[in-house]
Amino acid sequence: MLVLLPPSEGKTPPRARGPLLDLDSLCSPGLTPVREKVLDALVEVSASPDAMTVLGVGASLSTEVARNVHLRTAPTAPAKQVYTGVLYAAAGLDRLTPTGRTRAAQSVRIVSGLWGLVAPDDPIPAYRLSMGTDLPGIGPLAAAWRGALGVELGARAEGELVVDCRSAAYLAAWHPPRSADWVQVRVLRELDGARSVVSHNAKHTRGVLTRHLLTRRGRAPHDAESLARVAGELVGSALLAVELGPPARGARTLELVVA
């Protein structure tokens, strides 16, 4: 099983005494050459007068953009502590038992516009960069990462269940191979018998599913059908219903229905 998560927009800066950034310490070392290029381009653009415009952020985030300039010498902490927000609060990757931590280390990967991929324990600094950015010197980040992520994840996903919790911008960076059992997780709200797509609750619910996959007893799901059965264990508590759709464009859709 491979669980793919998006990064959080909000990030908690590590304490000043944390170890400095070391790209060689991150998972998937084959991504290091692209990481170097993207990091250099981000540092440069973040020091420019039009940094806010290029990075697509408002004035309230100027401190975070300014912090990008010093990423090479910034303190780090495990990604599971740096990434905060609704999904990560629900997933609780920093509140797992030893067994859960082992499962997360093996199965969970966070797709990032800056790092390509990180594992929950990878030491990273807080940064501001979205996968939807067209970065000067690099171009659209999803396209820039696509080839390298294909090399790193292609073999890993062969014949595997891929539980895809990414948003659209991060989904554009890599699609699993046809041999993978690829399931995109979709969250719907049911109100007065009608269902509609939700955003805020979607992040929370994907986090709940991620935590359940890491903490439940028993074997991990190995295909779309067993994933749906495992997700169904949440019906009556976190969910109203679970529905597994037919394959479409290589992926199946797992619909998690909330109130």
State pLDDT tens for residues 175-194: 999 999 999 999 999 888 78
- What's the pLDDT score for residue 249? 79
pLDDT in tens, 63-108: 999 999 999 999 999 999 999 999 999 999 999 999 999 999 999 9
Q: Give the DSSP H or E segment for 78.
A: strand 77-78
Residue 109 has pLDDT above 90, yes or no: yes
Average pLDDT over every residue of 150-170: 96
- What's the pLDDT score for residue 122? 98
- What's the pLDDT score for residue 247? 84
- Euclidean distance between CA atoms 87 and 91, whole angstroms: 6
With bands split at pLDDT 50, 70 and 90, how would you rate the model's confidence at 248?
confident
Average pLDDT over every residue of 236-241: 96
Residue 227 has pLDDT above 90, yes or no: yes
Residue 19 has pLDDT above 90, yes or no: yes
If we measure between CA atoms, which residue out of 114, 116, 118 comes closest to residue 135? 114
Residue 250 has pLDDT above 90, yes or no: no
Residue 200 has pLDDT above 80, yes or no: no
- What's the pLDDT score for residue 56? 96
- Dihedral sign, Cα of residue 1, residue 35, residue 91, residue 95: positive
Per-position DSSP letters for 152-216, written without gaps between them:
HHHHHHTT-EEEE---HHHHTT----TTSEEEEEEEEEEETTEEEE-SHHHHHHHHHHHHHHHHS
pLDDT in tens, 25-56: 999 999 999 999 999 999 999 999 999 999 99
Average pLDDT over every residue of 194-217: 93
Residue 169 has pLDDT above 90, yes or no: yes
Q: Hey, where are the domains in the chain?
A: 2-258
Task: Please enumerate in sequence order all residues whose Cβ is within 8 A of that of 222, keeping only pairs 6 or more positions apart, or say none.
Answer: 1, 161, 181
Residue 159 has pLDDT above 80, yes or no: yes
Q: What percent of the chain has pLDDT over 70?
A: 100
With bands split at pLDDT 50, 70 and 90, how would you rate the model's confidence at 198?
confident
The overall average pLDDT reported for the chain is 96
Better pLDDT: 189 or 249: 189
**Cβ-count burial of 231 within 10 angstroms (0-12 exposed, 13-18 middle, 19+ buried)?**
buried
Task: Please enumerate in sequence order all residues whose Cβ is within 8 A of that of 238, keeping only pairs 6 or more positions apart, or say none.
Answer: 205, 208, 258
Average pLDDT over every residue of 137-150: 98
Residue 22 has pLDDT above 80, yes or no: yes
